[in-house]
Amino acid sequence: MQEDHWHELRKYTHARIATGRAGNAMTTSEVLKLRIAHAMARDAVQSEVQTEYFNEKLFELGFNVQQVNSQALDRNDYIRHPHKGRLLHAQSKEQLQALQIEQTDLCIIFADGLSADAVNIHAIPFLELLLKDLSFWNIAPVILVKQGRVGISDPIGEVLNARISMILLGERPGLSAPTSLGAYITYQPKSGNTDEKRNCVSNIQPAGLSYEQAVAKISYLLHEMRSQQISGVKLKDNQKNNYRL
């Protein structure tokens, strides 16, 4: 029997390599694993943010929490019309305007994205670590967005008069990562911004980028954005060691 040199590599990745075969087909066990992974990915897309849990945890961290909606009416509308998830509902905009927030350093936004389970599992443990580096930052009320995509951080940050917006949301689930959290950070958020204005730190999860690694990277980016007053493609990543703000 010929030695399978790929098998040793399986310990380093969740990718489907060296899965074996039965003739020209996958083995029965691998077919079943693939079906389970596909089902988990589909479930992740339909998952919902646990708002009561977030309200409780964020209150304990000392935050005023505001729940808002995008212009997507429901999950089907969100999936079929992606642009609606980037737009803030008119009533939600009025709700945030009524807060009359003076200029802040940062607004933090949680959104369901394409995997609310990722936010439910990872967002609070990650944020608790990150806040240790933000003790001298003026942070706006935390926003929970229903049916939100990355771009909705622009109108929210604009209304809250924030220098920087950071949205945490569930990334598109893959067949080996249904609960991967992404962070998208923008200096001077405003309606009409395009994606080259943002910096992304993705795959935040124990099996990917650890909370500690993500905090170090995001702390560095936030520090550089505030000092250089730029973000996105203009901001060069010259990080050599961990920043502590």
* pLDDT for position 91: 97
Residue type, 83: H
* pLDDT for position 43: 67
* pLDDT for position 172: 84
Q: How confident is the model at residue 244 (pLDDT cuts 50, 70, 90)?
A: very low
Report the largest interatomic distance among the alpha carbons of the chain, rounded to a whole angstrom.
Answer: 72
pLDDT digits (tens, 9 = 90+) for 151-169: 999 999 999 999 999 999 9
The pTM for the full model equals: 0.86
* pLDDT for position 21: 74
Q: List the domain boundaries for the chain.
A: 51-234
Is the pLDDT at 59 greater than 90? The verdict is yes
* pLDDT for position 75: 92
In angstroms, the CA 140 to CA 162 distance is 7
Name, of 2-6, 162-166, 233-237, the range with top average pLDDT.
Answer: 162-166
* pLDDT for position 177: 78
Q: What is the mean pLDDT of residues 86-107?
A: 95
Q: How confident is the model at residue 36 (pLDDT cuts 50, 70, 90)?
A: confident
Full DSSP string of the chain:
----TTGGGGGG--S--S---BTTB--HHHHHHHHHHHHHHHHHHH----HHHHHHHHHHTT--EEEEEBS--SHHHHHH-GGGGGSB-HHHHHHHHTT-PPPEEEEEEEEEET-HHHHHHHHHHHHHHHHTT-TT--BPPEEEEES--GGGHHHHHHHTTEEEEEEEEEPPP-SS-TT-EEEEEEES--TT--GGGEEEEEEESTTSB-HHHHHHHHHHHHHHHHHH---GGGS-----S----
Is the pLDDT at 121 greater than 50? The verdict is yes
Contact 88, 66 (CB under 8 A): no
Q: What average pLDDT does the chain have? A: 88
Residue type, 135: S
Superfamily of domain 51-234, CATH level 4:
Ethanolamine ammonia-lyase light chain (EutC) (3.40.50.11240)
Residue type, 112: D
Using CB atoms within 10 Å of the CB of residue 175, give its burial: 0 to 12 exposed, 13 to 18 middle, 19+ buried: middle
